[in-house]
Chains A and B, each alone.
Chain A
Amino acid sequence: MSSPATELTRMAIYEQYHQISRWGDAFNNNDSPNTGSSTIVQVDVRLDNKAEYISSDQVEPSRSDQEANKPTDKIKRRLAQNREAARKSRLRKKAYVQQLESSRLKLAQLEQELERARQQGIYISSASDTGYFGLSGTVNSGITAFEMEYGHWVEEQNKQICELRSALQAHITDIELRILVESSLNHYCNLFRMKADAAKADVFYLFSGIWRTSAERFFHWIGGFRPSELLNVVMSQIEPLTDQQHLEVFNLRQSSQQAEDALSQGIDKLQQNLAQSVAADLSSGNYRAQMAAAVDKLEALEGFVNQADHLRQQTLQQMARILTTRQAARGLLALGEYFHRLRALSSLWAARPREPA
């Protein structure tokens, strides 16, 4: 089958096949891998007809048959490869599109969270972002610094909890245990120092509890945990106590509760005063002077957050004084584990399956 007419016809058929495989790619927006082949099948039929037509004109039988078969095999292989390539291309495209879709969803979620966080006054440290940064309208470097430091503080806290746990299980000496207890207490002192700086930068930030996780925030009291919460957690873990210790614990519970109540009443009074000051003359009056007076009143808030932290620290230290080293270690472990679990609870809560909106 080597006459010029046959050659030309063969070439024409090759062209057709090339075209078909290109069309196959163009039709790859449907998932069926068979679309291409059905088109090819048609062509195959046509090829057979043509081959029959061609061979009927020929005189040389065997060589022409061989040559006729070779291109057919090649073509068939080529077609199969094209089909496979087209199928893979369609699958890749599908995967890519799915990825885009889920990224889009994730982006929307993140934007929502960011918006919520901005409304709650979280300070965002991105230098390129010059939009609205919460209540004050500017980036507060004191708060950004605190956020970073607090993140490190929590990490270090988790390490110390693990150390305490292994130390208590390993039966180390009291002296070694004392060192761990002291560093644990120091770590809390560091926290209160950081918070004092943050209070100067923005007391509302501390007071709101936005720097803590949601479950912790549920218990939030004047910028942090309640001293009574601390005592409840610790004291349930450190039996047995001597009679003397029982008495001292009782006194500590009572005095810290009284101090806690006093500060709470002070804050209530501050709220009252502030509301009166702001509402003094809503219709007219001297707006500037009134607002200035309200700002003055608000300054008292820093004092309360500082006193509350002071009370937390005093309570913690007195507790450590009453207890033996081993008891203090168990107490601090319990306290650390408690807050760790509250933080974990917040994550679990956030990740729980919900009804679609």
Chain B
Amino acid sequence: MPMGSDPMERVVKLASESAIVIFSVSSCCMCHAVKRLFCGMGVNPTVYELDQDPRGKDMERALMRLLGNPQAVPVVFIGGKLIGSMDRVMASHINGTLVPLLKEAGALWL
């Protein structure tokens, strides 16, 4: 891939390639928690460890700007749509909107 491509574009592209996408950093424990949450629901997310990606730093910065949060990761996309960080994921799970989204994206079957 050309080195000059916009990191945000790359994020969006990767996010749309799988039903659930998590952008993570391998040493981040909150990322670990969000991964465990989806596994506990019987879902298998696609995880991108930004510290292991040559363009990871740029993508992290782009995500920071997107979320308006110094904590770039974890960020969750479902069906290509941005869900958000851990708090948004948990809130939507508690209020019952997460599971329908997962089903809609084909990540979860009854």
Contact = CB atoms under 8 A, between A and B. Distances in A.
Nearest to B35: A262
B90 A310 contact: yes
A140 interface: no
Nearest to B33: A266
Interface stretch (B14-22, B36-44, B57-65): B36-44
Given A258-B41, A307-B87, A265 B33 contact: yes
B7 to A, nearest CB: 24
B41 to A, nearest CB: 6
Nearest to B34: A262
A251 B29 contact: no
Interface stretch (A113-121, A125-133, A311-319, A349-357): A311-319
B30 interface: yes
A22 interface: no
A303 B40 CA distance: 21
Q: Top 3 A-B pairs ranked by shortest CB distance?
A: A266-B33, A262-B37, A270-B29
Contacts of A201: none
A265 B32 contact: yes
A261 interface: yes
B95 A269 contact: no
Main secondary structure of the interface of A (DSSP, over half): helix
Interface of B: 27-30, 32-34, 36-37, 40-41, 71, 86-87, 90-91, 93-96, 98-99
Contact of A303 (B71, B98, B99): B71
A256 B33 CA distance: 14
Nearest to B31: A266
A270 B33 CA distance: 10
Given A258-B41, A307-B87, A266 B29 contact: yes
Nearest to A256: B94
Given A310-B91, A314-B95, 4 more contacts: A248-B96, A258-B41, A262-B33, A314-B94
A69 interface: no
A261 B93 contact: no
Nearest to A308: B90
Nearest to B37: A262
